[in-house]
Amino acid sequence: MSFGTARLKVPATARAGEVVTIRTLVGHPMESGFRKGEDGARVPRLIVERFVCTFEGEEVFACDLEPAMAANPYFEFAVTVLRSGTFRCTWTEDGGATVSAEAAITVA
């Protein structure tokens, strides 16, 4: 497993109906499988192949990644929030290893 720190940034509070920006970043080399190592041999592919963000179980944003995504995959996306709850992000690597991050938002 090649995961580094998983980060999820969500505003702590918002008004109902407000569009908030969510930012996520996970440390990962995203080894493309096309690169050659020091010894001239191809470094085997090992990438984050899937990212999912849910809010109280409902899918908000998802991505199927290919080797052409940059190392340390970064996603920033906007969400309309209507009620308080918890955002949960999960990154899945080739082979099935995962890391997750959670952040709660309070809607006034």
Partner 1 sequence: MRLTRRTLLASAAAVLSVGRAARAADPAARLAAEVAAFADGDPVETAAFGVAIDAYVESGYTVPVAVAPAGLAAGERLVALRLFAPENPLIRVATFRFGAMAAGTLATRIRLARSQTVTAVARTSAGRVLRQDLKVAVLVGGCGFDVEEKAG
Q: Which residues from 45-64 bind partner 1, rule CB under 8 A?
A: 55, 58-64
d(CA 62, CA 35): 27
- Residues 24, 79: contact at Cβ < 8 Å? no
- Residues 86, 106: contact at Cβ < 8 Å? no
- Beta carbon nearer to partner 1, 12 or 78: 78
Rule CB under 8 A: say whether 106 interacts with partner 1. no
Q: Using alpha carbons only, what angle is made at residue 11 by residues 82 and 66, rounded to the nearest 5 degrees? A: 90
**Least Å from the CB of residue 95 to partner 1:** 19
- Beta carbon nearer to partner 1, 32 or 98: 32
- Residues 89, 6: contact at Cβ < 8 Å? yes
d(CA 72, CA 30): 7
**Least Å from the CB of residue 100 to partner 1:** 18
**Least Å from the CB of residue 45 to partner 1:** 10
Q: Which residues bind partner 1 (CB under 8 A)?
A: 19, 21, 32, 34-36, 43, 55, 58-71, 73-81
